[in-house]
Amino acid sequence: MARKLPHLSFKVTKSYRTNLYHQPGTLPGTIFVEENAPPPMIFFIDYNQTNILDKQIATPEECATYLDKESVSWVDVQGLGNVDILQRLGKVFDLHSLVLEDVVNMAERPKIEDYEDQLVIIARMVVPKQKECGFHSEQVSFVLGKHYLLTIQEEAEYDCFEPVRMRIRNSKGIIRKQGVDYLAYALLDAIVDGFFPVLERYGERIEELEEEVITNPKRQTLQNIYQIRRELLQLRRAIWPQREAINSLIKNGSELITNEVQIYLRDCYDHAVQVIDMVEIYRELSSGLMDVYLSSLSNKMNEIMKVLTVISSIFIPLTFIVGIYGMNFNTDKSPYNMPELNWYWGYPICLAVMALIAAGLLFFFWRRGWLENASTIKHD
């Protein structure tokens, strides 16, 4: 029978994202629930090698009627918008107040906690957005018992567990032949593998930014680079402690995890290491993009200054000639005071000389190769 739980205090707050930590002096076991969080939906899957029961349950107490020691029971709770249901769920599964606090408060660091006959696993799941860049991130909590697995998700809209559900329903692979610890491994492995599609998108975005930075860097390019760096940092914060938690589970072990499943967990750990390597590589590439962006801007500025210098160099002798003729000396006083002012062809000859000087300077600059990149300068 379930033991009597300590007194739990509940407080509803507008958003856990703005209150990631409890206020000083908050009682242990205090639960913060987002005000507009979706109501919990409870899905129950009970299976063995020959039979399967797959249905949605209305109340937490109904779970107890279907729990069977001869089969594997998976209770999946999606949504955290009802405090009463969460409290009743804790009573049904005999959850310690601190366990309920950890699985409901969506700001926990991925970790492993061993509570005698229960193993609590806190993980972070990411799902790529459908129509835009970026990803959705939410906490997924596992409570592993001897014959059951309780999973608590933040939302029902984003989920990477559907392939595991299909394997159970269609009896593919060995999942129907294994125990509840293998189910926990399969779900945890699905979470870790869910990072790869997200990172694949970031790889494509970085390639596009590399071409943009080299060919036509803009102010929006710099914002995109900063955005990628921030999002990659979020991915790193999600997967890094997750790898440590899996490694801790492999090294320390648990009575609820068999030796056979320990081998599978090593493969899951390897996937987590691969994800971390990819995240670090993409972070280095994004940092390198920043240097390339600054270099491209510097080169673009140099080309612009080269064009302006060429134009200025052409107009310097022309300005000199025009300046001399602008002095307007009186030729009646002396034949040496700019006699060209009285020439019949003086004005056309002056224009011709100025044109020849400009053409000669352009030819000189072209022969020296100073005009090669002037035509490639683009404006934002």
pLDDT digits 0-9 by tens, 363-378: 887 777 766 655 554 5
For the chain, how many structural domains are there in total?
Answer: 2
In which domain, by residue range, is 46 found? 1-177
Same domain, 7 and 151: yes
The pLDDT, as a whole number, for residue 5 is 37
The pLDDT, as a whole number, for residue 22 is 59
Indicate the residue among 126, 142, 177 that finishes a domain: 177
| pLDDT-wise least confident of 4-13, 151-160, 338-347 | 4-13
- Report yes or no on 39 lying in a domain: yes
- Report yes or no on 188 lying in a domain: no
- Report yes or no on 222 lying in a domain: no
Indicate the residue among 143, 177, 211 that finishes a domain: 177
Same domain, 27 and 172: yes
- Report yes or no on 245 lying in a domain: no
Indicate the residue among 177, 203, 230 that finishes a domain: 177
Q: Supply the CATH number for residue 23's domain.
A: 3.30.460.20
CA distances (Å), origin 91, targets 8, 60, 95 = 11, 9, 6
Same domain, 168 and 310: no
Share of the chain above pLDDT 70, in %: 87
The pLDDT, as a whole number, for residue 218 is 80
